[in-house]
Amino acid sequence: MEPPDPIAALWVHAARTELDALVTRLQAQVAGHVAATAGARRAEVDALEQQVVAFAARVKEADAALAAARAELDAARAESAERAASIERLTATSERLRADLARAEGDRARAEAEVARLDATLRDVGDRARSLDEQFVAERAYVEALVRAAGTLTFEAAQMALGQALEATPACFGALKARKLDVALAAAVRERGRSVTRHPLSAAEREALAAAAAAAGCELIEVPAGQRFTSATMEKAAARPEPAEEDHVLECVMPGLRLAGAAGAAVHPRVVVATA
């Protein structure tokens, strides 16, 4: 192998040195450029990072605002749903109230019709009652007269003669009208006359008989003491010795009865006659 050429070696060394210097300069330039570029990039990166941080903050604020908006939207939706439910309930209540009002109007109309019917019935009953009162004026007066002597034998005789209780009722008035007051009173006077000697008439009985006779259109026949007895006009209830003329009336224990203004007697008076 030939020995290296010194000149070539020098040239190579020089070229290599120059190349190394060039590489070094290039590296220095590249490093400077890189450093400058890196500084600029770092500044840009810092600015970008600041922008990113600011953007992230804005994004965070936007997220918070969005969350708040969503919460408000949810609240609004809930409120809207509640309002819709309230409206639905109010609508149902309104419909129910309308139905209730319609029923109430119907009930009112029926009630007014019923009131009108009851008023008509009441007027009819009142007319009937007045008619009955007018129809049974005498019968009512007859009953009222005898009721004053309630509990006495005369009252019991009047009930026995009528065949039912003597009281102020339409049934009693109707029975008296069917029987006729003078006939009913005559039967009561006869019945009471059977016991008059054992149980003399009281003042209350005499007053009741007088009022009943007036109601029945009759007159009581009283025989004054001292009048001569005659079987054609009187009925002998008893006789007793008295210092008086024989067959003269001592006492009228039971008055007789006749129609007012008529002659004769429906029931002869019962008297006590003097005897020798």
Query: Does the pLDDT of residue 48 top 70, yes or no?
Result: no
Tell me whether residue 50 is exposed, middle or buried, using C-beta atoms within 10 angstroms of its C-beta: 0 to 12, 13 to 18, 19 or more.
exposed
Given 3.40.50.720, 3.10.20.30, 2.30.22.10, 2.60.40.1730, which CATH number is that of 217-276? 2.30.22.10
Given a contact cutoff of 8 angstroms between Cβ atoms, the answer to whether 256 and 221 are in contact is yes
The pTM (predicted TM-score) of the whole model is: 0.55
Q: What is the pLDDT of residues 162-219, one digit of tens each?
A: 999 999 999 999 999 999 999 999 999 999 999 999 999 999 999 999 999 999 999 9
- Token pair, residue 151, equals 């509990």
Query: Does the pLDDT of residue 96 top 80, yes or no?
Result: yes
| pLDDT recorded at residue 248 | 95
Given a contact cutoff of 8 angstroms between Cβ atoms, the answer to whether 172 and 181 are in contact is no
| pLDDT recorded at residue 127 | 62
137 vs 28 pLDDT, higher one: 137
Long-range contacts: 122-129, Cβ < 8 Å, 24+? none
Residues 6+ apart with CB under 8 A from 247: 228, 229, 273, 274, 275
- The residues pairing with 238 across neighbouring beta strands, listed in sequence order, are 272
Domain ranges of the chain: 116-216, 217-276
Query: Does the pLDDT of residue 83 top 90, yes or no?
Result: no
